[in-house]
Chain A
Amino acid sequence: MPLLEIRDLHVAFPKGKKTEVEALRGVNLTLEKGERLGVVGESGAGKSMLAFAILNLIADPGRVSQGSITFHGENLLDLSERDIRSIRGNRISMIFQDPMVTLNPVLSIGTQMIETLKAHRRISDKEARKLCIEKLREVAIPSAESRLEAYPHELSGGLRQRVVIAIALLTDPELIIADEPTTALDVTIQAEIMALILKLCREKDVALLLITHDLGVVAEVTQRLMIMYAGLCVETGQTRGIIDAPQHPYTYGLLKALPQKVGRGARLYQIPGSMPPITALPSGCAYHPRCDRATDVCRSQIPPLENGRACFHPLNVPEAT
């Protein structure tokens, strides 16, 4: 049984009085124990919506309109708010984009860490403190003991995100959902934080769902990849395989548009246009207006996700043997 299994997930938001628009239009995903999966897409593709849905955090008036999210064989969508709380922040931890927003500015680091622990464990203050220091050491925060008294504003952006990671690890989760964990940070700090997340996931055999727009980051950290476009998964498979031989024209375009893929000074490959908003999706394949391989069938039918890609005219198709 996989650790996490998502089947045909739809998330809808009301538009006007009677109609709804879908931010997720039927997403499937499986994650095994200890596996690292990258979810890549541009803003509005629905990747954060996916994370929110797993944690039952979709804000009203949005709702999960269809599908199932199974964690250890239990459908998270059927759980009461109380039961989901025993999973959220405990067996499934989160790391969000901006550590200045996720940490409470008026509470010391120690107070916030102990609070998290006590919400999920029966533990004495003394033991909780000991455990917090241990976790701060694990994320390589210098002079961990004295940092418990510090407030978030006294730490640099990189150290703050390390604290967030330490909090995420406190309850020994089986799955960490990291939503753009390094987008707000400088490049050198990004490298430090991603190297740390990678090391911890490997050592503790924790599964990782890494949401990002950066193909370089997923190439460094994840084993499997899922490319999202306009609320659907358009390509999925082994990270290496997709990066070396993308099959969906969108993935191909994203990779080819990277400056590191062409020679110095050469013209960059560009995908024309931009992603449609969910309120104005074209018919058929949502990517067809930007696609140079599109034909009539792409304009009328949504391509099913088969053999790891949702495309009628894929590239780099391995020859049948």
Chain B
Amino acid sequence: MTTPIVETKGIEVRFPLPTHFLSRDKPVLHALNTVDIAIQPGETFCVVGESGCGKTTLGRAIIGLQPPTAGEIYFNGQRIDQMDEATRKPIRRDMQMVFQNPYASLNPRRNVFETLAEPIRHLMPETPASEVRETVENVLAVTGCDPSWQRKLPHEFSGGQRQRIAIARALVTNPAFIVADEPISALDVSIQAQILNLMTDLQSKWGLTYLFITHDLSVVEHFGTRVAVMYLGRVMELAKTETLFDAPKHPYTQLLLDAIPKLEGGSFDTPREPGELPDPVNMPPGCPFAPRCAMAEARCRAERPELRPLSNGARVACHFAE
């Protein structure tokens, strides 16, 4: 197996919560708990889960926006989580991010040229001005943006156009790896397909590797090479896309798949019990999914299942999966 482009070893992210000044206990929110993933060059690695599962925190930790409180992160075999800013700077060129909301991620007072030139000027300061212009023009062309957009401001564009600009900004430094955090969730249905197709084209043209964070399993099925399903800061199932959709092994994965509304209809005909998430501050000792799980037994509430390999190649954190 080749060296993974990105690898995390047991990373954890904890957020201390505000405490009352008289209180003795210091509540801590465990946003990520010992997450091990290895992303191979050229693949689209999807992370799915519901809000609060830690998928965005994982992306931010890898890209360096949220330093992990424990564990190690590697990029092309090089440990990056403890690097100082100066050593890390050349690596930032190779890792870029596209955010969910293109209405918030673009500076409203900066025109498109300035927005796209900024990463080059900052991360590759030796680039001559003529080359900056050329790169910006090239990237705008490959992302399907009109050259005339360069002097315009974000408010002049629709959501889909803004997301194209955000993708163009992520590409100007010629990165190898892109974290895309819900890049189509804020867009209208007819625009989502445009952006997904653009990302597919860019991947085949430039050999990009994606970490694609989403809550939408139908997008994962279409777009992903491998999938990690997360729940309350832990990976519950990690498998190739086909394997996961053909034979989901974790009861939580099954629950997510059953929740997708289908064009054929019929899956909302039976009432569903309200599912309650356990408090992420005071996590129960056993499996985090046990309170919602139909299969849960005493063992699940006492002992947390570790992620273990199954015969079909998937890795699953469930005592009963086989």
Q: Which A residues fall within an 8 A CB radius of B?
A: 42-43, 140-142, 156, 158-159, 162, 186-192, 194-196, 198-199, 213-217, 219-221, 240, 243, 253-255, 257-262, 264-272, 274-275
Contact = CB atoms under 8 A, between A and B. Distances in A.
B138 interface: no
Contacts of B215: 186-187
Given A142-B274, A196-B271, A199-B271, A220 B259 contact: no
A186 B182 CA distance: 13
B193 A271 contact: yes
Contacts of B221: 259-260, 264
Contact of A188 (B190, B222, B275): B275
B275 A259 contact: no
Contacts of A214: 189, 261
Interface centre among B188, B194, B217 (most CB of A within 10 A): B188
15 contacts: A43-B188, A156-B277, A158-B275, A186-B215, A187-B217, A195-B272, A215-B189, A257-B190, A258-B218, A260-B218, A260-B262, A265-B223, A270-B193, A270-B194, A271-B193
B192 interface: yes
B219 A194 contact: no
Contacts of B256: 187-188
A245 to B, nearest CB: 12
A272 B190 CA distance: 8
Contacts of A196: 271-272
A264 B161 CA distance: 26
A219 B222 CA distance: 20
B200 interface: yes
Given A188-B275, A198-B269, A271-B193, A260 B263 contact: yes
B312 interface: no
- Shortest Cβ-Cβ A-B pairs, 8 listed: A216-B261, A259-B222, A191-B259, A257-B193, A186-B50, A42-B188, A268-B193, A270-B193
Contacts of B275: 158, 188-189, 192
A187 B216 CA distance: 8
A268 B196 contact: yes
A259 B160 contact: no
Contact of A186 (B51, B161, B268): B51
A265 B275 CA distance: 33
Given A186-B51, A187-B215, A243 B274 contact: no
B190 A254 contact: yes
Interface string B267-302: 111111111110000000000000000000000000
A99 to B, nearest CB: 13
Contact of B268 (A156, A195, A267, A268): A195
Contact of B263 (A140, A216, A262, A267): A216
B242 interface: yes
B264 interface: yes
B266 interface: yes
Interface string B199-237: 010000000000000011111011100000000000000
B200 A190 contact: no
Nearest to A40: B189
A217 B273 contact: no
Contact of B261 (A141, A219, A253): A219
Given A158-B275, A259-B218, A267-B200, A215 B270 contact: no
Given A140-B271, A189-B275, A195-B270, A220 B261 contact: yes
A275 B161 CA distance: 12
B272 A192 contact: yes
B44 to A, nearest CB: 10
Contacts of B158: 274
Nearest to A259: B222
B258 A191 contact: yes
